Amino acid sequence: MAGNTFGTIYRLTSFGESHGKSVGGVIEGVEPGLDLDINYIQHQLDRRRPGQSEITTPRDEKDRVEFVSGVFEGKTTGTPLAFLIWNKDSRSKDYDNLKDVYRPSHADYTYESKYGIRDHRGGGRSSARETIARVVAGAVAQLMLKKEGISFQAFVSQAGEVKLEKPFESLDLSVAEQNIVRCPDSETANMMISHIDDVRCDHDSIGGIVTCVIRNVPVGLGDPVFDKLHARLGQAMLSINAVKGFEYGSGFSAVDLRGSQHNDSFFIDKGRVRSRTNRSGGVQGGISNGEEIYFNVAFKPVATILKDQNSVNRDKTETVIKAKGRHDPCVVPRAVPIVEGMAAMVIADALLLNRTYKTSS
C-alpha cells in the first residue's frame, strides 16, 4: 500500500489499524537537542481522543504515547523518532454484522475492490484512528516551530447549520478550549452543543468547519509552481478523514469581488512590507508573505449512523444495515488538533526546505 508517508524533510510515516494492537509512526527531520515535551504532546492527543465529552463517541481510549527511539534523556537525538499508541478499548464484536456488507459513504467497497481484502473492524487502515499519528508528529513539529515564534490556533467555526458569524480577528481564539465544541464565541458554542446533542439523540450526524490561523510565519515559505504553500496545506487537509473541502484566505467568496476590491494593497510598517487587508490568506504566488495564514476545512457528516440504511453485500445483493458501536454525532471538535498538527508539519517541512537553499551574500 502506497501513501503512508507525508512530507519531504520533516516526514511522517504512519502505521496501524483501528482495531489492531497499536497505531504509531516514525518521524524524520526532527532537529537534535529538542526538548521533547511529553506533557504537551499528550495534551494534543487528549484533545483528539474519544470519550472526552458528552458530544463525542463514548469509546474510552486513553491514547498514551510511548516513544521507542530517537530520544535520550528527554531530548531528541536527530535520529528517527518512533512512537506507539496501544489500542486498549476496541470492541471488534460491534462490527461483526458488517463483515460482509459495505457501509454507505465509507471506504469498505473501494478498499476491498482495490486490495482484495479489508479489515471490517472499524475500517482498519482507512479508519480515522490513523490520525493519532498525525497529531503526535504535528505536536513535535509545533515544539520545533515554537522556538521560531510560529503558533497555530484552530477552532470550530461551524457545526451543521450553526455558524460562527463573527470574524475571527475580533475574537480571542484561545478561549476556544473553554468549551467542549471548541468554538471561541460562547454564545455560538452553546448553540452548537445543543444542535449536536439533538442530532445525537436522533441517532444521526452532522458535519462542520474547522478554521485554522497560523501566526508569525516568516516571508518566503513555499515554492511557486507545484509546491505552492497553500497547495501543500490543501493536500494535508484533504488527506484527513471526512474532509470534503479546503479554502484559504478569501476562498470561494473571492468570486463575488472585483480585482479592485480583492487586491491586498501594500504599505511599509516599521521598515517591513505589510498588506492592509489579508484576502490572500498570508500566501501570494504560493509563497508566504508574512501575514497571518488562515484557512477553512470542511468535514462531512460522520458516515456511521445508528439508523437503517440501504446498502449491498459482498455477493452483490441489496440489504438494509443498522450500525452498532460508539460513534461521533459530529467529528469537528475532535478534528481541531488534527488540523493544527497537519498544518504544523507543512510549515515545519517548508521551513526546513528553505534552509537548503543557497542565497547570495
Could you give the CA distance from residue 318 to residue 282 in angstroms, rounded to a whole number? Answer: 50
Query: Is 313 inside a domain boundary?
Result: yes
Give 35's DSSP letter. Answer: B
| Residue 237 near residue 295, CB atoms below 8 Å | yes
Give the Cα-Cα-Cα angle 86, 90, 94 (nearest 5 degrees). 165
Residue 290: inside a domain:
yes
> For residue 129, what is the DSSP state?
G
Question: Is residue 73 one of the residues assigned to a domain?
Answer: yes
In a domain, 359, yes or no: no
41 domain residue, yes or no: yes
How many Å apart are CA 187 and CA 189, to the nearest integer?
A: 5
**CATH number for the domain that contains residue 269:** 3.60.150.10
- Bridge partners (DSSP) of residue 295 are 212, 248
Query: How many domains is the chain partitioned into structurally?
Result: 1
Quick check: 283 and 289 in contact, CB under 8 A?
Answer: yes
Which candidate, 212, 205, 193, 213, places its Cα nearest to that of 330? Answer: 205
Q: Please report the DSSP string for 59-92 in residue order.
A: ------EEEEESEETTEE-SS-EEEEEE--S--G
Distances (CA, A) of 101 to 59, 212, 295, 300, 320: 23, 37, 37, 22, 9
| Predicted confidence pLDDT, tens digits, the chain (361 residues) | 899 999 999 999 999 988 888 999 999 999 999 999 999 999 999 999 877 777 776 666 689 999 999 999 999 999 999 999 998 766 656 666 778 898 889 888 998 899 998 888 777 788 889 999 999 999 999 999 999 999 999 999 999 999 999 999 999 999 999 999 999 999 999 999 999 999 999 999 999 999 999 999 999 999 999 999 999 999 999 999 999 999 999 999 999 999 999 999 999 999 999 999 999 999 999 999 999 999 999 999 998 888 899 999 998 999 998 777 667 899 999 999 999 999 999 999 999 999 998 664 4
Strand runs (DSSP E) across 160-307, as ranges? Answer: 162-163, 208-215, 243-248, 266-269, 272-275, 283-284, 287-288, 293-299
Closest CA to 82 of 34, 35, 15: 15
**Residue 361 resides in a domain:** no
Does residue 173 form part of some domain? yes
Q: Would residue 177 count as lying in a domain?
A: yes
For residue 14, what is the enclosing H or E element? strand 11-16
pLDDT in tens, 39-82: 999 999 999 987 777 777 666 668 999 999 999 999 999 999 99
Q: Report d(CA 5, CA 298) in Å as an integer.
A: 23
Question: CB of 311 within 8 A of CB of 323?
Answer: no
- Domain of 181? 5-354
